[in-house]
Structure 1
Protein backbone atom coordinates (compact mmCIF):
# COMPACT_ATOMS: atom_id res chain seq x y z
CA UNK A 1 0.00 0.00 0.00
CA UNK A 2 1.48 3.33 -1.10
CA UNK A 3 1.48 6.84 0.36
CA UNK A 4 0.57 5.85 3.91
CA UNK A 5 0.94 8.85 6.18
CA UNK A 6 0.12 6.94 9.35
CA UNK A 7 -1.70 3.95 10.78
CA UNK A 8 -4.57 3.92 13.27
CA UNK A 9 -4.44 0.46 14.81
CA UNK A 10 -7.28 -1.17 16.73
CA UNK A 11 -6.39 -3.23 19.80
CA UNK A 12 -8.70 -6.00 21.00
CA UNK A 13 -9.13 -8.52 18.19
CA UNK A 14 -6.34 -6.93 16.15
CA UNK A 15 -3.27 -7.03 18.42
CA UNK A 16 -4.58 -9.15 21.27
CA UNK A 17 -7.47 -11.17 22.62
CA UNK A 18 -8.08 -10.13 26.22
CA UNK A 19 -4.69 -10.68 27.85
CA UNK A 20 -3.17 -12.78 25.05
CA UNK A 21 -1.15 -11.26 22.23
CA UNK A 22 -2.15 -12.23 18.71
CA UNK A 23 0.74 -13.91 16.91
CA UNK A 24 2.96 -11.36 15.20
CA UNK A 25 1.65 -8.24 16.97
CA UNK A 26 5.02 -7.54 18.59
CA UNK A 27 6.78 -8.03 15.25
CA UNK A 28 4.35 -5.69 13.49
CA UNK A 29 4.91 -2.82 15.92
CA UNK A 30 8.69 -3.34 15.86
CA UNK A 31 8.63 -3.28 12.05
CA UNK A 32 6.61 -0.04 11.99
CA UNK A 33 9.20 1.57 14.25
CA UNK A 34 12.07 0.44 12.03
CA UNK A 35 10.26 1.78 8.98
CA UNK A 36 9.54 5.03 10.85
CA UNK A 37 5.89 4.74 9.83
CA UNK A 38 3.79 6.82 12.26
CA UNK A 39 1.01 5.03 14.10
CA UNK A 40 -1.38 5.26 17.02
CA UNK A 41 -3.10 2.60 19.06
CA UNK A 42 -6.77 3.64 18.77
CA UNK A 43 -9.36 2.19 21.12
CA UNK A 44 -13.00 2.62 22.07
CA UNK A 45 -12.04 1.64 25.63
CA UNK A 46 -12.84 4.64 27.84
CA UNK A 47 -11.82 3.19 31.20
CA UNK A 48 -8.05 3.04 30.87
CA UNK A 49 -5.70 6.00 30.72
CA UNK A 50 -3.18 6.09 27.86
CA UNK A 51 -0.51 4.98 30.33
CA UNK A 52 -2.74 2.09 31.38
CA UNK A 53 -3.31 1.00 27.78
CA UNK A 54 0.42 1.14 27.05
CA UNK A 55 1.20 -0.88 30.18
CA UNK A 56 -1.35 -3.51 29.13
CA UNK A 57 0.32 -3.81 25.73
CA UNK A 58 3.83 -4.00 27.19
CA UNK A 59 2.65 -6.69 29.58
CA UNK A 60 1.93 -8.87 26.55
CA UNK A 61 5.26 -8.09 24.90
CA UNK A 62 4.13 -5.31 22.56
CA UNK A 63 6.29 -2.19 22.84
CA UNK A 64 4.05 0.80 23.52
CA UNK A 65 4.22 4.32 24.94
CA UNK A 66 1.40 6.35 26.47
CA UNK A 67 1.80 9.05 23.82
CA UNK A 68 1.06 6.45 21.13
CA UNK A 69 -2.42 5.76 22.54
CA UNK A 70 -5.66 7.47 21.49
CA UNK A 71 -8.82 6.58 23.42
CA UNK A 72 -12.48 7.46 23.07
CA UNK A 73 -12.21 9.34 26.38
CA UNK A 74 -9.52 11.60 24.96
CA UNK A 75 -11.59 12.27 21.84
CA UNK A 76 -14.74 12.94 23.87
CA UNK A 77 -12.95 15.40 26.14
CA UNK A 78 -11.43 17.17 23.13
CA UNK A 79 -14.82 17.33 21.39
CA UNK A 80 -16.33 19.11 24.41
CA UNK A 81 -13.32 21.37 24.96
CA UNK A 82 -13.34 22.54 21.35
CA UNK A 83 -17.09 23.18 21.40
CA UNK A 84 -17.14 24.85 24.85
CA UNK A 85 -13.69 25.55 26.35
CA UNK A 86 -13.70 25.10 30.13
CA UNK A 87 -17.26 23.72 30.14
CA UNK A 88 -18.72 22.11 33.23
CA UNK A 89 -19.11 18.36 32.86
CA UNK A 90 -20.63 15.60 34.94
CA UNK A 91 -18.79 12.34 34.35
CA UNK A 92 -20.27 8.89 34.44
CA UNK A 93 -17.14 6.93 33.87
CA UNK A 94 -13.83 5.70 35.17
CA UNK A 95 -10.21 6.80 35.48
CA UNK A 96 -9.52 7.20 31.77
CA UNK A 97 -12.47 9.54 31.23
CA UNK A 98 -11.85 11.55 34.39
CA UNK A 99 -8.20 12.12 33.47
CA UNK A 100 -9.00 13.02 29.86
CA UNK A 101 -11.60 15.62 30.85
CA UNK A 102 -9.30 17.17 33.46
CA UNK A 103 -6.40 17.36 31.02
CA UNK A 104 -8.67 19.00 28.41
CA UNK A 105 -9.35 21.86 30.84
CA UNK A 106 -12.95 20.93 31.53
CA UNK A 107 -14.53 21.65 34.92
CA UNK A 108 -15.81 18.54 36.70
CA UNK A 109 -19.01 19.14 38.65
CA UNK A 110 -21.64 17.07 40.43
CA UNK A 111 -24.63 19.33 39.79
CA UNK A 112 -26.05 21.43 36.92
CA UNK A 113 -23.47 20.49 34.26
CA UNK A 114 -23.37 21.86 30.74
CA UNK A 115 -22.42 18.36 29.53
CA UNK A 116 -23.04 14.82 30.69
CA UNK A 117 -20.20 12.67 29.37
CA UNK A 118 -20.57 8.95 29.85
CA UNK A 119 -18.37 5.94 29.26
CA UNK A 120 -18.13 2.54 30.85
CA UNK A 121 -18.98 2.97 34.53
CA UNK A 122 -18.92 -0.14 36.67
CA UNK A 123 -20.30 1.85 39.63
CA UNK A 124 -23.40 2.89 37.61
CA UNK A 125 -26.58 2.90 39.73
CA UNK A 126 -30.24 3.81 39.50
CA UNK A 127 -29.30 7.13 41.11
CA UNK A 128 -26.69 7.70 38.38
CA UNK A 129 -29.38 7.10 35.78
CA UNK A 130 -31.85 9.43 37.51
CA UNK A 131 -29.36 12.28 37.89
CA UNK A 132 -27.95 12.02 34.37
CA UNK A 133 -31.35 11.87 32.69
CA UNK A 134 -32.58 14.84 34.77
CA UNK A 135 -29.57 16.97 33.80
CA UNK A 136 -30.05 16.14 30.14
CA UNK A 137 -33.76 16.95 30.26
CA UNK A 138 -32.79 20.28 31.84
CA UNK A 139 -30.55 21.08 28.88
CA UNK A 140 -27.15 19.42 29.40
CA UNK A 141 -25.64 17.99 26.22
CA UNK A 142 -25.21 14.20 26.28
CA UNK A 143 -21.87 12.85 25.00
CA UNK A 144 -21.19 9.10 24.86
CA UNK A 145 -17.60 7.91 24.58
CA UNK A 146 -18.45 4.74 22.65
CA UNK A 147 -21.54 2.75 21.72
CA UNK A 148 -20.24 -0.76 22.53
CA UNK A 149 -23.18 -2.66 23.99
CA UNK A 150 -21.02 -5.43 25.43
CA UNK A 151 -17.40 -5.76 26.47
CA UNK A 152 -15.22 -8.80 27.14
CA UNK A 153 -14.15 -9.61 30.68
CA UNK A 154 -12.67 -12.48 32.66
CA UNK A 155 -16.25 -13.50 33.48
CA UNK A 156 -17.48 -13.44 29.88
CA UNK A 157 -19.17 -10.52 28.16
CA UNK A 158 -20.51 -7.71 30.33
CA UNK A 159 -22.69 -4.65 29.61
CA UNK A 160 -20.67 -1.93 27.88
CA UNK A 161 -20.86 1.87 27.72
CA UNK A 162 -23.47 1.71 24.98
CA UNK A 163 -25.82 -0.31 27.17
CA UNK A 164 -25.61 2.29 29.94
CA UNK A 165 -26.01 5.05 27.36
CA UNK A 166 -29.15 3.39 26.00
CA UNK A 167 -30.73 3.53 29.45
CA UNK A 168 -29.91 7.23 29.80
CA UNK A 169 -31.27 7.92 26.32
CA UNK A 170 -34.47 6.07 27.17
CA UNK A 171 -34.89 7.96 30.46
CA UNK A 172 -34.05 11.41 29.05
CA UNK A 173 -35.55 11.12 25.58
CA UNK A 174 -32.32 12.54 24.13
CA UNK A 175 -29.88 10.68 21.88
CA UNK A 176 -26.18 11.24 22.65
CA UNK A 177 -23.39 12.53 20.47
CA UNK A 178 -21.37 9.34 19.94
CA UNK A 179 -17.59 9.78 19.78
CA UNK A 180 -16.11 6.30 19.37
CA UNK A 181 -16.16 3.83 16.49
CA UNK A 182 -18.21 3.35 14.30
CA UNK A 183 -18.69 7.14 14.34
CA UNK A 184 -15.89 9.24 12.88
CA UNK A 185 -14.97 11.57 15.78
CA UNK A 186 -12.35 9.27 17.33
CA UNK A 187 -10.70 8.59 13.99
CA UNK A 188 -10.53 12.23 12.92
CA UNK A 189 -9.12 13.16 16.33
CA UNK A 190 -6.45 10.48 15.95
CA UNK A 191 -5.46 11.79 12.51
CA UNK A 192 -5.14 15.26 14.02
CA UNK A 193 -2.83 13.88 16.72
CA UNK A 194 -0.65 12.35 14.00
CA UNK A 195 -0.73 15.63 12.07
CA UNK A 196 -2.07 14.05 8.88
CA UNK A 197 -5.23 14.37 6.82
CA UNK A 198 -7.76 11.52 6.99
CA UNK A 199 -7.09 10.49 3.39
CA UNK A 200 -3.44 9.85 4.33
CA UNK A 201 -4.38 7.59 7.24
CA UNK A 202 -5.06 3.86 7.18
CA UNK A 203 -7.32 2.30 9.79
CA UNK A 204 -6.39 -1.28 10.70
CA UNK A 205 -8.90 -3.42 12.56
CA UNK A 206 -10.77 -6.70 12.85
CA UNK A 207 -14.31 -5.39 13.19
CA UNK A 208 -16.35 -4.38 10.14
CA UNK A 209 -19.06 -2.73 12.27
CA UNK A 210 -16.68 -0.48 14.22
CA UNK A 211 -13.13 -0.17 12.87
CA UNK A 212 -13.77 -0.38 9.14
CA UNK A 213 -17.04 1.58 9.28
CA UNK A 214 -15.42 4.38 11.31
CA UNK A 215 -12.46 4.57 8.95
CA UNK A 216 -14.73 4.79 5.93
CA UNK A 217 -16.88 7.50 7.54
CA UNK A 218 -13.78 9.54 8.38
CA UNK A 219 -12.45 9.33 4.83
CA UNK A 220 -9.53 7.02 5.64
CA UNK A 221 -8.36 3.94 3.82
CA UNK A 222 -8.96 0.70 5.70
CA UNK A 223 -7.34 -2.69 6.15
CA UNK A 224 -9.37 -5.52 7.63
CA UNK A 225 -7.40 -8.22 9.44
CA UNK A 226 -9.11 -11.58 9.96
CA UNK A 227 -7.66 -11.99 13.43
CA UNK A 228 -10.76 -11.35 15.49
CA UNK A 229 -14.47 -10.74 15.04
CA UNK A 230 -14.62 -10.74 11.24
CA UNK A 231 -13.77 -14.01 9.50
CA UNK A 232 -13.81 -15.22 5.92
CA UNK A 233 -17.12 -16.95 6.70
CA UNK A 234 -18.98 -13.86 7.99
CA UNK A 235 -17.26 -11.18 5.89
CA UNK A 236 -19.97 -11.00 3.21
CA UNK A 237 -22.67 -10.69 5.87
CA UNK A 238 -20.84 -7.84 7.61
CA UNK A 239 -20.27 -6.04 4.31
CA UNK A 240 -23.98 -6.28 3.59
CA UNK A 241 -24.95 -5.00 7.04
CA UNK A 242 -22.46 -2.12 7.13
CA UNK A 243 -22.55 -1.14 3.47
CA UNK A 244 -18.79 -0.66 3.45
CA UNK A 245 -15.87 -2.68 2.14
CA UNK A 246 -12.25 -2.55 3.33
CA UNK A 247 -9.60 -1.41 0.88
CA UNK A 248 -7.48 -4.43 1.76
CA UNK A 249 -8.06 -7.71 3.59
CA UNK A 250 -5.25 -9.56 5.36
CA UNK A 251 -5.57 -13.04 6.82
CA UNK A 252 -3.12 -12.31 9.64
CA UNK A 253 -0.56 -9.80 10.87
CA UNK A 254 2.24 -11.31 8.79
CA UNK A 255 0.23 -10.62 5.65
CA UNK A 256 -0.49 -7.11 6.95
CA UNK A 257 3.25 -6.44 7.23
CA UNK A 258 3.65 -7.53 3.61
CA UNK A 259 0.80 -5.29 2.47
CA UNK A 260 2.37 -2.33 4.25
CA UNK A 261 5.83 -3.20 3.00
CA UNK A 262 7.46 -3.21 6.45
Structure 2
Protein backbone atom coordinates (compact mmCIF):
# COMPACT_ATOMS: atom_id res chain seq x y z
CA UNK A 1 0.00 0.00 0.00
CA UNK A 2 1.33 3.41 -0.89
CA UNK A 3 -0.07 6.92 -0.86
CA UNK A 4 1.32 10.43 -0.97
CA UNK A 5 2.87 11.58 2.29
CA UNK A 6 1.55 14.68 4.06
CA UNK A 7 3.50 17.89 3.76
CA UNK A 8 4.23 18.26 7.47
CA UNK A 9 7.27 16.42 8.82
CA UNK A 10 6.73 13.53 11.22
CA UNK A 11 6.59 14.86 14.76
CA UNK A 12 5.23 18.31 13.90
CA UNK A 13 2.08 19.25 15.82
CA UNK A 14 -0.83 18.88 13.39
CA UNK A 15 -3.81 19.23 15.77
CA UNK A 16 -3.90 21.63 18.71
CA UNK A 17 -7.05 21.85 20.86
CA UNK A 18 -7.20 24.65 23.43
CA UNK A 19 -9.92 25.51 25.96
CA UNK A 20 -12.52 23.65 23.89
CA UNK A 21 -16.10 23.94 25.08
CA UNK A 22 -19.08 22.19 23.49
CA UNK A 23 -22.81 22.08 24.08
CA UNK A 24 -25.75 19.88 23.09
CA UNK A 25 -28.55 22.40 23.28
CA UNK A 26 -28.37 23.78 26.82
CA UNK A 27 -26.20 20.89 28.08
CA UNK A 28 -22.58 21.93 28.54
CA UNK A 29 -20.50 18.82 27.75
CA UNK A 30 -16.87 19.94 27.24
CA UNK A 31 -15.29 22.29 29.77
CA UNK A 32 -11.96 23.47 28.41
CA UNK A 33 -10.50 20.37 26.72
CA UNK A 34 -6.81 20.80 25.85
CA UNK A 35 -4.55 18.36 23.99
CA UNK A 36 -2.50 18.00 20.82
CA UNK A 37 -1.62 15.39 18.22
CA UNK A 38 1.65 15.27 16.29
CA UNK A 39 2.02 14.22 12.68
CA UNK A 40 2.21 10.44 12.33
CA UNK A 41 1.08 9.66 15.88
CA UNK A 42 -1.65 7.41 17.20
CA UNK A 43 -3.20 9.21 20.19
CA UNK A 44 -5.95 7.68 22.34
CA UNK A 45 -8.60 9.43 24.43
CA UNK A 46 -9.52 7.28 27.43
CA UNK A 47 -12.36 7.77 29.90
CA UNK A 48 -15.62 6.39 31.19
CA UNK A 49 -18.84 6.48 29.18
CA UNK A 50 -20.21 10.01 29.10
CA UNK A 51 -16.86 11.63 29.85
CA UNK A 52 -16.91 13.68 26.62
CA UNK A 53 -14.61 11.65 24.36
CA UNK A 54 -17.01 11.25 21.43
CA UNK A 55 -18.14 14.86 21.79
CA UNK A 56 -14.49 15.88 21.43
CA UNK A 57 -14.21 14.07 18.10
CA UNK A 58 -17.51 15.50 16.89
CA UNK A 59 -16.39 18.99 17.91
CA UNK A 60 -13.19 18.64 15.89
CA UNK A 61 -15.25 17.44 12.91
CA UNK A 62 -17.64 20.39 13.21
CA UNK A 63 -20.79 18.36 13.86
CA UNK A 64 -21.56 19.89 17.25
CA UNK A 65 -23.81 22.95 17.05
CA UNK A 66 -22.10 25.15 19.62
CA UNK A 67 -18.36 25.21 20.27
CA UNK A 68 -15.94 27.64 21.88
CA UNK A 69 -12.20 27.86 22.30
CA UNK A 70 -9.67 26.96 19.62
CA UNK A 71 -9.01 24.00 17.32
CA UNK A 72 -6.09 24.45 14.95
CA UNK A 73 -5.35 21.86 12.29
CA UNK A 74 -2.17 22.09 10.25
CA UNK A 75 -1.80 25.67 11.51
CA UNK A 76 -5.33 26.80 10.57
CA UNK A 77 -8.15 27.65 12.98
CA UNK A 78 -11.18 25.42 12.34
CA UNK A 79 -13.37 25.84 15.44
CA UNK A 80 -15.90 27.89 13.46
CA UNK A 81 -15.53 25.99 10.17
CA UNK A 82 -18.33 23.83 8.76
CA UNK A 83 -17.93 20.05 8.69
CA UNK A 84 -17.53 19.94 4.88
CA UNK A 85 -14.71 22.50 4.99
CA UNK A 86 -13.05 20.52 7.79
CA UNK A 87 -13.32 17.31 5.75
CA UNK A 88 -11.63 19.02 2.80
CA UNK A 89 -8.66 19.81 5.03
CA UNK A 90 -8.06 16.05 5.30
CA UNK A 91 -9.85 15.08 8.53
CA UNK A 92 -12.19 12.06 8.57
CA UNK A 93 -14.45 10.74 11.33
CA UNK A 94 -15.47 7.08 11.70
CA UNK A 95 -18.33 7.03 14.24
CA UNK A 96 -18.99 4.26 16.73
CA UNK A 97 -22.30 3.40 15.03
CA UNK A 98 -20.35 3.03 11.72
CA UNK A 99 -23.06 4.57 9.51
CA UNK A 100 -23.32 1.71 7.01
CA UNK A 101 -26.27 2.19 4.62
CA UNK A 102 -28.57 -0.86 4.67
CA UNK A 103 -29.93 -0.20 1.17
CA UNK A 104 -26.46 -0.13 -0.44
CA UNK A 105 -24.07 -2.98 -1.11
CA UNK A 106 -20.44 -2.96 0.00
CA UNK A 107 -19.13 -1.38 -3.22
CA UNK A 108 -21.77 1.36 -3.10
CA UNK A 109 -21.03 2.09 0.56
CA UNK A 110 -17.32 2.29 -0.26
CA UNK A 111 -17.82 4.68 -3.16
CA UNK A 112 -20.41 6.92 -1.49
CA UNK A 113 -18.22 9.55 0.24
CA UNK A 114 -16.68 12.08 -2.16
CA UNK A 115 -12.94 12.47 -2.48
CA UNK A 116 -11.83 15.45 -0.39
CA UNK A 117 -8.13 15.43 -1.30
CA UNK A 118 -5.69 13.67 -3.60
CA UNK A 119 -3.91 10.59 -2.28
CA UNK A 120 -6.86 8.45 -1.22
CA UNK A 121 -6.42 4.70 -1.29
CA UNK A 122 -7.52 2.84 -4.39
CA UNK A 123 -9.92 -0.09 -4.14
CA UNK A 124 -6.97 -2.43 -4.73
CA UNK A 125 -5.11 -0.92 -1.78
CA UNK A 126 -8.23 -1.14 0.38
CA UNK A 127 -8.71 -4.81 -0.53
CA UNK A 128 -5.08 -5.44 0.41
CA UNK A 129 -5.87 -4.09 3.88
CA UNK A 130 -9.31 -5.70 4.13
CA UNK A 131 -9.49 -8.79 1.87
CA UNK A 132 -12.88 -9.74 3.41
CA UNK A 133 -14.47 -6.73 1.74
CA UNK A 134 -13.44 -7.84 -1.74
CA UNK A 135 -15.27 -11.12 -1.19
CA UNK A 136 -18.42 -9.30 -0.01
CA UNK A 137 -18.64 -6.51 -2.60
CA UNK A 138 -22.18 -7.32 -3.67
CA UNK A 139 -23.50 -8.01 -0.16
CA UNK A 140 -25.83 -5.50 1.46
CA UNK A 141 -23.96 -3.38 3.97
CA UNK A 142 -25.94 -4.52 6.99
CA UNK A 143 -25.65 -8.21 6.01
CA UNK A 144 -21.99 -8.01 7.02
CA UNK A 145 -20.74 -9.13 10.41
CA UNK A 146 -19.89 -6.46 12.98
CA UNK A 147 -16.21 -6.82 12.18
CA UNK A 148 -16.80 -6.51 8.43
CA UNK A 149 -18.96 -3.43 9.00
CA UNK A 150 -16.14 -1.84 11.00
CA UNK A 151 -13.66 -2.64 8.23
CA UNK A 152 -16.05 -1.08 5.69
CA UNK A 153 -16.48 2.05 7.83
CA UNK A 154 -12.70 2.54 8.04
CA UNK A 155 -12.12 1.62 4.39
CA UNK A 156 -14.70 4.18 3.27
CA UNK A 157 -12.81 7.12 4.82
CA UNK A 158 -9.44 5.87 3.53
CA UNK A 159 -10.74 6.24 -0.03
CA UNK A 160 -11.48 9.95 0.43
CA UNK A 161 -7.88 11.15 0.70
CA UNK A 162 -8.11 12.13 4.40
CA UNK A 163 -4.83 11.69 6.28
CA UNK A 164 -6.03 12.50 9.81
CA UNK A 165 -8.40 9.75 10.96
CA UNK A 166 -10.63 9.91 14.03
CA UNK A 167 -11.91 6.47 15.04
CA UNK A 168 -14.61 6.21 17.73
CA UNK A 169 -14.54 2.88 19.61
CA UNK A 170 -13.33 0.84 16.61
CA UNK A 171 -13.14 -2.43 18.61
CA UNK A 172 -16.52 -2.16 20.37
CA UNK A 173 -18.37 -5.50 20.33
CA UNK A 174 -15.90 -7.23 18.01
CA UNK A 175 -14.40 -10.71 18.31
CA UNK A 176 -10.75 -10.90 19.49
CA UNK A 177 -9.48 -11.99 16.06
CA UNK A 178 -11.11 -8.94 14.42
CA UNK A 179 -9.79 -6.63 17.13
CA UNK A 180 -6.31 -7.94 16.36
CA UNK A 181 -6.85 -7.27 12.64
CA UNK A 182 -8.00 -3.68 13.37
CA UNK A 183 -4.81 -3.24 15.40
CA UNK A 184 -2.65 -4.47 12.53
CA UNK A 185 -4.48 -2.08 10.18
CA UNK A 186 -3.86 0.93 12.44
CA UNK A 187 -0.16 0.08 12.68
CA UNK A 188 0.00 -0.26 8.89
CA UNK A 189 -1.71 3.08 8.37
CA UNK A 190 0.65 4.76 10.82
CA UNK A 191 3.62 3.33 8.92
CA UNK A 192 2.15 4.89 5.74
CA UNK A 193 2.09 8.36 7.33
CA UNK A 194 -1.49 8.57 8.59
CA UNK A 195 -2.23 10.30 11.88
CA UNK A 196 -4.90 8.70 14.06
CA UNK A 197 -6.95 9.94 17.01
CA UNK A 198 -8.75 7.10 18.80
CA UNK A 199 -11.52 6.95 21.35
CA UNK A 200 -11.23 3.57 23.01
CA UNK A 201 -12.46 1.84 26.17
CA UNK A 202 -10.11 -1.14 25.79
CA UNK A 203 -6.91 0.53 26.98
CA UNK A 204 -4.98 -2.76 26.95
CA UNK A 205 -5.63 -3.09 23.24
CA UNK A 206 -5.00 0.63 22.73
CA UNK A 207 -1.59 0.19 24.33
CA UNK A 208 -0.59 -2.02 21.38
CA UNK A 209 -1.14 0.81 18.87
CA UNK A 210 -1.04 4.19 20.67
CA UNK A 211 1.92 6.50 21.19
CA UNK A 212 0.22 8.65 23.84
CA UNK A 213 -2.90 8.73 26.00
CA UNK A 214 -5.13 11.48 27.36
CA UNK A 215 -7.69 10.77 30.08
CA UNK A 216 -11.03 12.60 29.79
CA UNK A 217 -13.33 13.07 32.78
CA UNK A 218 -16.37 15.37 33.07
CA UNK A 219 -15.46 17.13 29.84
CA UNK A 220 -11.85 17.90 30.79
CA UNK A 221 -8.44 16.34 30.27
CA UNK A 222 -7.32 15.23 33.72
CA UNK A 223 -4.14 13.28 32.88
CA UNK A 224 -1.84 12.33 30.03
CA UNK A 225 1.09 9.98 29.56
CA UNK A 226 3.16 8.25 26.90
CA UNK A 227 2.70 4.57 26.08
CA UNK A 228 6.05 3.88 27.73
CA UNK A 229 4.54 5.22 30.98
CA UNK A 230 1.44 3.02 30.86
CA UNK A 231 2.54 0.45 33.41
CA UNK A 232 3.60 3.13 35.88
CA UNK A 233 0.12 4.70 35.57
CA UNK A 234 -1.89 1.48 35.71
CA UNK A 235 -3.17 2.12 39.23
CA UNK A 236 -4.45 5.57 38.30
CA UNK A 237 -6.00 4.19 35.11
CA UNK A 238 -7.99 1.59 37.03
CA UNK A 239 -9.32 4.39 39.22
CA UNK A 240 -10.12 6.69 36.28
CA UNK A 241 -11.86 3.99 34.25
CA UNK A 242 -13.47 2.05 37.09
CA UNK A 243 -11.97 -1.27 35.99
TM-score by length of 1: 0.32
Q: Which has the higher helix share?
A: 1
Work out which structure has the larger RCO, using CA pairs closer than 8 Å and 6 or more positions apart in sequence: 2
TM-score by length of 2: 0.34
Q: Which has the larger radius of gyration?
A: 1
